[in-house]
Chain A
Amino acid sequence: MYDIKHEAKGLVTHGNSACAGCGLELIMRKTMEVVGPDTIIVIPPGCAAMFSGFGKEGGLKIAGCQMNLENTAACASGIRAALNAQGNTHTTVLGFAGDGGTLDIGLQSLSGMFERGDRVMYVCYDNEAYMNTGVQGSSATPASASTTTTPGGKTSQKKDLMMIAMAHRIPYAATASLQNLNDLKKKLEKAKNANGPSLVHVHTPCPTGWRFNPALSIELARAAVRTGAWILYEYENGKITINNKLTELAEIDTYIGKQGRFKHLNAEQKTELGKQIKDNYFTYTSMLERMSIH
């Protein structure tokens, strides 16, 4: 039925047409390592669709389907309901969508899935714009970042997906980053075993859209965490744990200085942006501490 024409070490093909240095490809591999072959994956159009394949060619060894951008979570819910009707509790249903398919277009179906409490694992790889169609700004694009639809820098702030997820009181939600793969895998494992809907929001460096040297992908993911631009925390049944609690943040230039999308900013604007990110980090983490139920 499914011909394995080329050998691969894991469940994902080696020769995938993701760009060189793509963070998504690494996330996909680590996710597949964690969830294993007993999984049904739902992928919307976007960069991740390269893994569901072109025509008769597929890039994953597991079962899956490619749905529309807006109904990834709804389809995953449907698959879960069908599996439940069969009495199948061991198969994991995985929704794997980008920031456009999660925060913009797919938000209502995602909210519906959270509200119904279907046991679906949802991974959002956040590369902070619509990279597959040519870097259009999404609601996940951070302030001041230049994209083709926001050439002078985005004026509004990034939408907070985690707060939306936490407002639904789902069993597990977490932000993760490529800087620490053990941490990412641990979070994916927890999301897989959660008794209800779970969300893992992963920060994904994109060399094409962010305009940096592909070799720096992991460094930028690390810099984002160290400068406070990306906050690592997890939410487990009301309890919030901040994973990267920093007293002092790294210089903002180690993160935004290497990216072409912040190139239009002058030194003054960069310091201003750095100050904004710093303030946001400390207010946000103190807010999370107050929200946590110990």
Chain B
Amino acid sequence: MEKQQEQPMKMLKKRNVLGPVATDFTAANTGNWRIERPEVDYSRCSKCRTCERYCPTNVIEIRPDDQECVYINFDYCKGCGICTNVCPRQCIQLIPEVR
């Protein structure tokens, strides 16, 4: 374990860097945590953007011109269900995730 750390640290010390430095901006695949997924009743949606503002993962996007006006990026949606609770019209429901 110590050796594993020593090698990269030696390289960094040459450049006067004393700790690990993040060089990649990445995203974990948090979509596979989901056991329930939000489903939107588009006919009742008033496009108020409340769910967009309150989503902790910031994956909801409102597209007012589209038929399916609430776009959710399921790569990262954790299925926490906050959107279902903050929706003033209760038009978002959690349904079991099927993969």
How many residues on the A side are at the interface (Cβ–Cβ under 8 A)? 41
Interface assignment of A293: CB less than 8 Å from any CB of chain B: no
Q: Does B39 contact A (CB under 8 A)?
A: no
CA distance A5 to B33 in the complex (A): 21
Give every chain B residue within 8 A of A56 (Cβ-Cβ). Answer: 20-24
The verdict on B28 contacting chain A, using a C-beta distance below 8 Å, is yes
Q: A14-B73, A29-B58 are in contact. Are A21 and B22 (CB under 8 A)?
A: no
Do A25 and B28 have beta carbons less than 8 Å apart?
no
The number of A-B residue pairs with CB atoms under 8 Å apart is 113
Interface residues of A in 4-43 (CB under 8 A from B): 4-6, 8-10, 12-18, 20-23, 25-26, 29
CA distance A3 to B28 in the complex (A): 15
Contact present for B56 and A57 (CB under 8 Å): no
Known A9-B58, A18-B56; contact A52-B22, beta-carbon cutoff 8 A:
yes
Q: Are B85 and A5 in contact (CB under 8 A)?
A: no
CB-defined contacts of B22 to chain A, threshold 8 Å: 2, 52-53, 55-58
B interface: dominant SS? loop
Say whether B85 contacts A219, CB under 8 Å: yes
Could you say which residues of chain B place their CB within 8 Å of the CB of A61? 25
B76, A214: Cβ atoms closer than 8 Å? no
Q: Give the chain B neighbours of A181 by CB distance below 8 A.
A: 53-54
**A46 contacts chain B at the CB level, 8 A cutoff:** no
The A-contacting residues of B in range 6-62, CB under 8 angstroms, are 20-31, 33, 53-59, 61
B80 to A3, Cβ gap below 8 A? Answer: no
Task: Provide the bound-state CA to CA distance between A46 and B29, in Å.
Answer: 21
Contact B27 A15 (CB under 8 A): yes
Residue of A nearest to B31 (CB): A15
Q: Are A16 and B27 interface neighbours, CB within 8 A?
A: yes
> Interface range on chain B: under 10, 10 to 19, 20 to 34, or 35 or more?
20 to 34
Is A58 within 8 A of B82, CB to CB?
no
Chain A residues, Cβ within 8 Å of B75? 14-15
Is A217 in contact with B25, judged by CB distance below 8 angstroms?
A: no
* Nearest CB of chain A from residue B30's CB, rounded to whole Å: 5
Chain A window 203-224, contacts with chain B (Cβ cutoff 8 Å), 1 for yes, 0 for no: 0000100000111111100000
In the bound complex, do residue B82 and residue A215 qualify as a contact, i.e. CB atoms below 8 Å apart? yes
Specify which of B33, B76, B80, B81 is in contact with A14 (CB 8 Å cutoff): B76
Cβ of B58 and Cβ of A10 under 8 Å apart? yes
Tell me whether B57 and A16 are in contact (CB under 8 A).
Answer: yes
Given known contacts A56-B20, A58-B25, A214-B81, what 10 new A-B pairs fall within 8 Å (CB)? A2-B24, A10-B58, A12-B58, A14-B76, A21-B82, A25-B56, A26-B55, A26-B56, A218-B54, A218-B86
Give the docked Cα–Cα distance between A61 and B26 (Å).
10
CB-defined contacts of B23 to chain A, threshold 8 Å: 1-3, 56, 58
Measured CA separation A29–B53 after assembly (Å): 10
> Given A26-B56, A218-B54, A13 and B85 touching (CB < 8 A)?
no
